[in-house]
Amino acid sequence: MPNLPAKAVVLLSGGMDSATTAALARQQGFAVHALSIRYGQRHEVELAAAHHVARSLGVAGHVVQTIDLRAFGGSALTAELEVPKNGAAVLGARASGSTSAVPITYVPARNTIFLALALAYAEVLGSADIFIGVSAVDYSGYPDCRPAFIEAFQHLARLATRAGVEGAPITIHGPLIHLSKAETIRLAGRLGVDLALTHSCYDPTPDGLACGACDSCRLRRKGFAEAGLPDPARYAT
H-helix or E-strand spanning residue 172 = strand 171-173
CA 69 to chain centroid, in Å, comes to 17
Element (H, E) at 159: helix 147-160
**# chain residues binding a copy of itself, by CB under 8 A:** 47
Q: Closest CB to a copy of itself among 4 and 71?
A: 71
Pick from 125, 133, 122: which is nearest to 170 by CA? 122
Query: Could you tell me which stretch among 22-30, 105-113, 174-182, 192-200 binds a copy of itself (CB under 8 A)?
Result: 105-113
Of residues 112, 129, 137, 235, which one binds a copy of itself by CB under 8 A? 112
- Residue 215 binds a copy of itself (CB under 8 A): no
235 φ/ψ angles, rounded to the nearest 5 degrees? -110, 145
Q: Which of 26, 43, 110, 199 binds a copy of itself (CB under 8 A)?
A: 110
Q: Phi, psi (5° rounding) for residue 11?
A: -70, 120
Binding mask 10-49 for a copy of itself (x = CB under 8 A): ----------------------------------------
CA 92 to chain CA centroid, Å, is: 23
Among candidates 215, 202, 211, which has minimal Cα distance to 78? 202
- For the four alpha carbons of 193, 216, 64 and 196, in that order, the dihedral sign comes to negative
Is residue 152 close enough to count as binding a copy of itself by CB under 8 A? yes
Q: Are 114 and 67 in contact (CB under 8 A)?
A: no
Nearer to a copy of itself, 134 or 233 (CB): 134
Within positions 67 to 86, which residues make up the interface with a copy of itself, using CB under 8 A? Answer: 67-69, 71-74
192 binds a copy of itself (CB under 8 A): no
Q: For binding to a copy of itself (CB under 8 A), which residues are involved?
A: 63, 65-69, 71-74, 99-100, 102, 106-113, 115-117, 119-121, 123-124, 143-144, 146, 148-149, 152-153, 155-157, 159-162, 164-167
